[in-house]
A and B are shown apart, each in its own frame.
Chain A
Amino acid sequence: MNEMVDLAIIGAGPAGMSAACAARACRLSVVLLDEQPSPGGQIYRGIAEARDDRLAAILGKDYAAGEEIYRRFVACGANYRPATTVWRIGPDGLSWISAGRSGELAARRVLVATGAMERPFPSKGWTLPGVMTAGAGQILLKASRLVADGAVFVGCGPLLYLVAHQYLNAGVTVRAILDTAPRENLLPASALLPGALRQPHYIVKGLRMIAALRRSGVRMHRNVRAVSFSGQDRLEAVHWRDRSGEYALECAEAFVHQGVIPNLNMTMSTGCRHAWDEQQLCWRPDLDALGRSSLQWLLVAGDGGGIGGARSAALSGAISALAAAHDLGRLDFTAFERESAPLIAARRRDMAVRPFLDRLYRPAQGFRIPEDEETVICRCEEVTCGDVARAVGEGCPGPNQLKSFTRAGMGPCQGRLCGHTVTETMALLSGRTPQEVGYYRIRTPIKPVTVGDIAGRIENAEQGAQHEQAAAD
């Protein structure tokens, strides 16, 4: 009745595309479903479209590296379904919708490659229109080629500098960069530098970018703390403190960033085991070296399994596809070892830079756990930090009871934008570890679908009949 494939891959970023190529090389039948209209994921968004040289220059060499993966992917023979949203996954397969059509797909293995998302930036006024994430700023640049002139960049992490740099390259004014990386990070990070230097190109690239930003004369503030945003109906000014005093700067747009974390809702919805990663300060699925989760049918590759960046994501996608092929009896052990060993070694090398980067750009506590009671934590239901504190004071044992008591996490984003803040805030308030506090139980549908979508084809058919009737009248 339903379609059955060997491997269903969700997400067409570097991990998903590489997994499809590797699985096809082992002659697995592969369907790759992706929400976007064209392949690339976030990092290589718009890679399939023709670009002028100027935009290519703005986006840089690493973006161009995506083109090779993309070319292999389109030739690999995987059944690629763009603009398709997966709203449910389980041991029996997955449910999808696409442009009003819906269906089920049964798969022997499911590989989730849904990538990363930006860590929430809960601070006073962060819900004002005009406050966007740096990632959203980059999407503007890659997709619509619209850019905001005179924006302030606030936060820390490689993506913040990358986007600011790309804006400068595009000839746009960057009003200021407010770097929130705490000075205290330097010492522990420097101890990790030797390991990172095994992959010097990352460090070189970073240093070049920061040097270029400096040379450009962009106003830069370091050790920035206590950031807040103000305005009547939209952003009018950003405020902060540093060692020398308190500041405010008028601006219409601010791009905020505190690093990236795995995009969890898909894996969390399956009930596979997750653990709190103290190094990256985030939840991630508990995976073996090949990306296999605690559920036999489920594998995870790329940043969705822990942040590693685009190169590691592509390698982990291929590794997981080989593991799936081996587990399904389609690749014997010798061949599996032979093909996976160099990929695993390359991934280990590529990941060598992570401990240094994670430590250097570890967001300060004040940017993860709001200090101000009025700060909104859950944007969908407008639940504040004070609301969470009051519930904890009443003995509320964890995020799920908090959800019941305050509606935090009950909105359309299903806790994507407040889950980590809630875990860490409750941990701090109750003197427990994030692991002990836990996370929201994520429910189907992973992405909002309508009641009519769930009701399915029969409903669609009836609706169609009614429309015909109306037309006849």
Chain B
Amino acid sequence: MAERHPTSDFVVIGGGIVGASIAYGLAKSGEKVLLLDEGDVAFRAARGNLGNVWVQGKGATSHAYADLTRNAANRWGGFAAALQEETGIDLHFRRPGAFYICFSEEELERRSGMMASINEHATVRSEFETVGPEELRRRLPEIGPEIAGATYCPDDGTANPLFLLRALIKAAAGFGATYLPRRKVVSLCRDGEGICIETEAGTFHAGRVVLAAGLGNGKLAPQLGMTAPVRPVRGQIMVTEKVRKFLDFGTNFIRQTVEGGCVFGESSEEAGFDEGTTLSVLRETARRAVTAFPLLRDARVVRAWGALRIMTPDGVPVYQQAPGAGNVFLITVHSGVTLAPFHAGEMAVALRQNRLDPDRYLPFSPERFNVQAA
């Protein structure tokens, strides 16, 4: 079964949106890249994603993260256009702004306060509005009578995360990267100057390794002397049949796709690695969706599923270069869709230079968790 593969300059471990973004960025700038992926059934956060390119409310505890998010979102249009040109795949990217729907006045007030406070610290501008119930009804005619209001941010957008993943892999391959699925990484070790990667089907050698394996980073990183504090957070999602167009904007928990189906879900559960659904959460999810948009009551649900999202202790990304040899990079993020232009752009450039600038990346170092613990 062992498969010989020529040594690649870069091996990216993880064929999800994050790993594929990085492989795409590296390949596009001429690097020789191998992208290793698991098989058909894996924990894939891309499948548990609403497809929001989401700015508002991000970075409440880290203005560096707020800035990172805002810059990435601002680049999304050009990024999507380039990918479409390279692959012919329409990512369904739109940027009409999004509403964060609040079910009570207290929630709306808290939300506005939080957003204002982020804007005091972030250096990249992003405006928002607090929208009361009457104004909200004017802008979202199908909103339910019980909704108290929303915060609106024009910088938010939506895309199809599944088409994004397909386009990234296809484009990376188009620029010469090799994509190998069914190569779940079993173990990693240093091997002279490089890294030896043992997978379920073959062993590979790399000059440099990018760990972008999502939840898998938790086990892989320590094998190379790093730590990836990451835990699964389960979200239960459902999608309806195609219904008439009523929602052009993004919202925090429901998106109407270009095809017409509505994807919604907002649960955030500590359920270990259990990907299942539970009746109580599905029921609550359905009730909130109907409260927000009563017309959904009669829409037929086609599928409901659970997906594991990748969460760091503070929700802020972890970017780290291995100390010493420095040829291993750890990338653990929650928002692979929003940050895709950053991973394919600035991050790929830093990887090629073999240097994550300590000043720039200090706010994203996992060291911050040790400091907090002390």
Contact = CB atoms under 8 A, between A and B. Distances in A.
Interface of A: 88, 90, 92, 95, 104, 391, 394-401, 404-405, 407, 410-412, 414, 437-438, 441, 443-445, 448-456, 458-459, 463
Contact of B240 (A399, A451, A458): A451
B109 to A, nearest CB: 26
For B40, B290, B297, B299, the residue with the greatest tally of chain A CB atoms inside 10 Å of its CB is B40
B47 A451 contact: no
B79 interface: no
Interface string B123-154: 00000000000000000000000000000000
B46 A463 contact: no
B94 interface: no
Contacts of B297: 450-452, 455, 459, 463
Contact of B287 (A398, A412, A437, A458): A458
Contacts of B162: 404-405
Contacts of A452: 286, 290, 297-298
13 contacts: A395-B173, A401-B40, A404-B165, A405-B163, A407-B259, A412-B300, A412-B302, A444-B305, A445-B304, A451-B240, A454-B282, A455-B283, A456-B286
Contacts of A92: 279
B40 A399 contact: yes
Contact of B40 (A397, A454, A458): A397
Interface string B167-178: 001100100000
A33 B345 CA distance: 56
Please name the 8 residue pairs, one residue from A and one from B, whose CB atoms are nearest each other, closest first: A398-B40, A397-B181, A452-B297, A455-B286, A404-B162, A454-B286, A448-B300, A443-B303
B86 to A, nearest CB: 13
A458 B40 CA distance: 38
B145 to A, nearest CB: 10
Contacts of A412: 241, 300, 302
A443 B39 CA distance: 19
A459 B290 contact: yes
Nearest to B40: A398
Contacts of A405: 162-163, 165-166
Contact of B301 (A104, A397, A445): A445
B180 interface: yes
For B165, B179, B181, B286, the residue with the greatest tally of chain A CB atoms inside 10 Å of its CB is B286
B82 to A, nearest CB: 18
B296 interface: yes
A380 to B, nearest CB: 9
Given A414-B303, A455-B290, A444 B298 contact: no
B235 to A, nearest CB: 14
A394 B300 contact: no
For A400, A411, A437, A454, the residue with the greatest tally of chain B CB atoms inside 10 Å of its CB is A454
Interface of B: 37, 39-41, 44, 46-47, 162-163, 165-166, 169-170, 173, 179-182, 238-241, 259, 276-277, 279, 282-283, 286-287, 289-290, 296-305
A473 to B, nearest CB: 14
Contacts of B302: 410-412, 414, 448
Contacts of A394: 166, 169-170, 173, 179
B305 A450 contact: no
Contact of A454 (B283, B298, B305): B283
B366 to A, nearest CB: 30
Contact of B300 (A95, A396, A398, A450): A450
A181 B179 CA distance: 41
Contacts of B40: 397-401, 437-438
Given A397-B39, A459-B297, 16 more contacts: A90-B276, A92-B279, A394-B169, A395-B181, A400-B41, A437-B40, A444-B303, A444-B305, A445-B301, A445-B304, A451-B298, A451-B300, A454-B282, A454-B283, A454-B304, A455-B290
Contacts of B279: 88, 92, 95, 104
Nearest to A448: B300
Given A398-B41, A450-B299, A404 B289 contact: no
Contacts of B163: 405
A456 B303 contact: no
B295 to A, nearest CB: 10
A399 B41 CA distance: 9
Nearest to A456: B283
A438 B302 CA distance: 21
A369 to B, nearest CB: 19
B184 to A, nearest CB: 11
B290 A448 contact: no
Contacts of A396: 166, 181
Contacts of A454: 238, 282-283, 286, 301, 304
B287 A443 contact: no
A438 B279 CA distance: 27
A463 B283 CA distance: 15
A414 B296 CA distance: 20
A445 B289 CA distance: 17
Contacts of B169: 394-395
A450 B301 contact: yes
A395 B39 CA distance: 10
A386 to B, nearest CB: 14
Nearest to B306: A443
A190 to B, nearest CB: 39
A436 B163 CA distance: 25
Contacts of A95: 279
A459 B287 contact: yes
A268 to B, nearest CB: 13
A449 B286 CA distance: 11
A405 B283 CA distance: 29
Contact of A451 (B46, B276, B290): B290
